[in-house]
Structure 1
Amino acid sequence: MAVLFRTHASAATGLGHLMRCLALAQTLDANHCEVVFALKAEAKSLALGRHDWVGRIIVLPDELDEQQELDYLQHLPEWPQLSAVVLDGYGFSEHYRADLQRIAPLVAIFDDANLDMALHADVIINGSDGADSGYYHTYASQARLCLGRAYRVLRREFEVLPEIPFVRRHTLTLMLGGSDVLNLTLPLLQALETQGADMPIRVITGAAYGHLAALQDWLSQTQLTIQHIHDCQQMADMMIHSRLAVTAAGGTQFELLACATPAILLVVADNQRAATAAASQQGWCISQDVVAGANPAELAARVLALWQDDKQLEVMHQHAAALADRQGAQRVVQCLFEQMEQQRCS
């Protein structure tokens, strides 16, 4: 049994799609499935920087248009052995998805964009509490739906976590995405310093972060107590020791929830709004929409005010601990296996 993943990762788009595909791939691998990724060259470079990577990588030529890419995939030696293709990314057109479903044995799609168009998938995966089953019944009427918190896929490092009492968490953690698409890390740190921050700060930058030299130069001069980790490979350990995290919304918010870590979620892309709004209503995080831009001084003031509110942080932690569920990837894999069997028998 083999599963092919087709997804994107780059300095421009970040690492979110690649990371959730990796999470599902790890669980498939643990269930004795062969895993193959079809990636562009930049995404391959980012993938192989991971110590927890699983799966072979096929590099797709950059110059292929959509139809050429589908032809390329269909002529891979691995194609006849595939049981499913998993698609994750916003750059795949409806035409591409329709043709992929026509030629693939089964198509599973990670979706959180709600594009009001046919999805052409056999399985839909959307771990957001805001996932709308009515929408999917309209635009993927025949698909099996893996919706809501029970189907959040997390990498294997989050499956079994030690319990760290909240009183032993002392760090403010800033992690603004694999590429920090709005370049907020350094301006926020500068604003925190200006406003007198004195807590231990951990700054995590992703493999696709494009402002590393400027950040390192500033860190060499600041008086703040800062640990900087670039391309962190132990995110679960970082999160369970954090008293408060400031993060770009997206898949990271589900990891923070699994670690019962209070958070300020920054909406940096339109498609993140629904999931982030649903998370905010659960009481373990607060959100701020920065798609149109952020005021670092105002954001720093908000961070410092929440940091100083011991009671609210404790309540947020308790809400997160009550909601944490780390078995979503296994449930998705079970759904995929059942759908594969159903389609083989039909």
Structure 2
Amino acid sequence: MHRFIFQCNANELSGLGHLMRCLNIAVTLKEQNSSTPIIFNGEFNTFAKEQLNHHNFTIINTENLDSFKDATLILDDYCITQKDIDLIRTKVNTFIKIDDFNEFNLSQLDLIINFRSCAESESYSNNNTCLGLDYFPFKKPLIDIRKHNLKNENSKISNIVIFIGGNDQTSVGNKILNLLIECVTNKNIYLIDKKTELKTRYISNNNNITVQPLVEKIEELYQLADVFITGGGLSKYEVAFCCIPNASISQNIGQAEDTTILAASDLTYDLGIATQLNPSMIKKELMRFLDKDILLKIKNSTRKHFSTHSTTKLAQRIIEVSQ
């Protein structure tokens, strides 16, 4: 029976984005054939292991791929070299790479996936590609949130959610929260902080503040939010898919470049890079972002750019090249 191996990490260095997009693909592959063996190879933190165990996926951590000659390997890792890619090519039957930056010679691979906005304009060294938002892998529960928000014409902002991601090393989430409190009143503001173990609530500037740990079902946060402030990774795509007006503060240069592209299509509002945070400037940008016309422009753009069939379309393409 054909096996699929997802090679990625979910740790302090990589955050959760690589795991979550691989997980979304893996779940859809499993839906296509429930008996398909799916393995995750990498270094995973406790939260990540809980996610994988929930779906009964096998977890390993090895550099030795000799026993997977018959398998399809899907690689999603920024900490990779051309030498690593060339070696993996000799070890597995089918080699697929999720690739964001088009930095390597991938001519010998079986499929390249880049679902970033406008990726279809990239010129890869391989013609076997799945490029652009038509192949964006989302969690199935997000479909209902998208459909609800497509119908919802209410522009009132009650709930603002801040989730910078699983790798907020500079604690920018707390900084954004404190600046946001100065910008708004009478709002419910939620900060999702992986360093927090217990949910806490308090009032500041007549805002109801909740600081809580990361929840297993991220869709619960999306369902709650009228407005979302994200890190520069996968979550900005997910909230845009859900038709939620959102702003992004990127964690690194690569994310910042991607955020710039999304902002040009009005799919997010660019707050800059976390490591270059200037409080007075960010406060001004937050106030501009929260203008009703800006929020409406982002929401209207999110209506146009996504398909509810993109994950299935991507999974079917992966199955095709693996046969």
Look up the match of 1:245: 228
Which residue matches 1:73? 65
Counterparts of 2:293 and 2:220 in 1: how far apart (Å)? 24
Pairing 1:20–2:21 present: yes
Match of residue 129 from structure 2: 145
Match of 1:335 in 2: 317
Task: Determine the C-alpha separation between the residues in 2 that align with 1:52 and 1:170.
Answer: 35
Query: CA shift at 1:231, angstroms?
Result: 1.7
Out of 241, 246, 256, the residue aligned to residue 273 of structure 1 is: 256
Call closer, same or farther: CA 1:148–1:230 in 2, change over 3 Å.
Answer: same
1:163 aligns with 2:153: no
In structure 2, the residue corresponding to 1:108 is in which secondary structure?
strand
User: In 2, are the aligned partners of 1:7 and 1:88 still within 8 Å (CA)?
Assistant: yes
TM superposition score normalised by structure 1: 0.82
How is 1:47-196 mapped onto 2 (pairs within 5 angstroms)?
47-50=48-51, 53-60=54-61, 69=63, 72-75=64-67, 79=68, 82=71, 84-118=72-106, 120-131=108-119, 133-136=121-124, 138=125, 141=126, 143-161=127-145, 162-164=147-149, 165-167=152-154, 170-195=158-183
State yes or no: 1:38 paired with 2:48. Answer: no
Residue aligned with 1:159, SS: helix
* Deviation of 1:279 (Å): 1.4
**Residues 324, 241 of structure 1: alpha-carbon distance in 2 compared, 3 angstrom cutoff:** farther
| DSSP-derived class of the 1:271 partner | helix
Question: Hey, what does 1:344 align to over in structure 2?
Answer: none
CA distance in 1, matches of 2:65, 2:153: 49
SS in 2 for 1:273: helix
Other structure's SS at 1:48 match: helix
Q: Report the Cα offset of residue 268 of structure 1.
A: 1.7
Q: CA deviation at 1:91?
A: 1.3
Partner Cα distance (1:169, 1:5) in 2: 39
Identity in percent: 18
User: Structure 2-normalised TM-score?
Assistant: 0.87
Alignment correspondent of 2:212: 229
In structure 1, list runs of 5 or more residues that go unmatched. 62-68, 342-346
Task: Pick 1 or 2: higher relative contact order, CA cutoff 8 A, min separation 6.
Answer: 1
AA partner of residue 302 (structure 1): E
- How has the CA–CA distance of structure 1 residues 119 and 23 changed in structure 2, closer, same or farther, with 3 Å as cutoff? farther
- Output the CA distance in 2 between the equivalents of 1:171 and 1:300: 18
Q: Counterpart amino acid of 2:266?
A: G
Cα separation, 1, equivalents of 2:118 and 2:249: 17
CA contact (8 A) 1:280 1:287 kept: yes
On the 8 A contact 2:158/2:188 being kept in 1, the answer is yes
Secondary structure at the residue paired with 1:14? coil
Write the distance in 1 (CA, Å) between the matches of 2:208 and 2:53. 30
Task: Note the C-alpha offset of 1:200.
Answer: 1.2
Q: Is the 8 A contact 1:22 1:53 kept in 2?
A: no
Letter of the 1:311 partner, please give it.
D
Compute the displacement of 1:35 (Å).
1.0
1:30-81 per-residue CA deviation (whole Å, 9 max, x = no partner) reads: 11122111122xx1523223388424333326xxxxxxx1xx2223xxx255
1:276 positional shift: 1.9
Residue matched to 1:66? none
In 2, Cα distance between equivalents of 1:35 and 1:29: 8
Q: Which amino acid aligns with 1:185?
A: G
Matched residues, number = 315
Distance 1:49 1:89 in 2: 20
Residue 49 of structure 1 aligns to a residue whose secondary structure is: helix
Structure 2: tracts of 5 or more residues without a match: none
Equivalent of 1:319, from 301, 306, 320? 301
Cα deviation for residue 146 of structure 1 reads 0.2
Secondary structure class of the residue paired with 2:247? strand
**Conserved 8 A contact 1:37-1:55:** no
Partner-residue secondary structure (3-state), 1:100: helix
Q: Within 5 Å, which residues of 2 pair with 1:304-315?
A: 304-307=287-290, 309-315=291-297
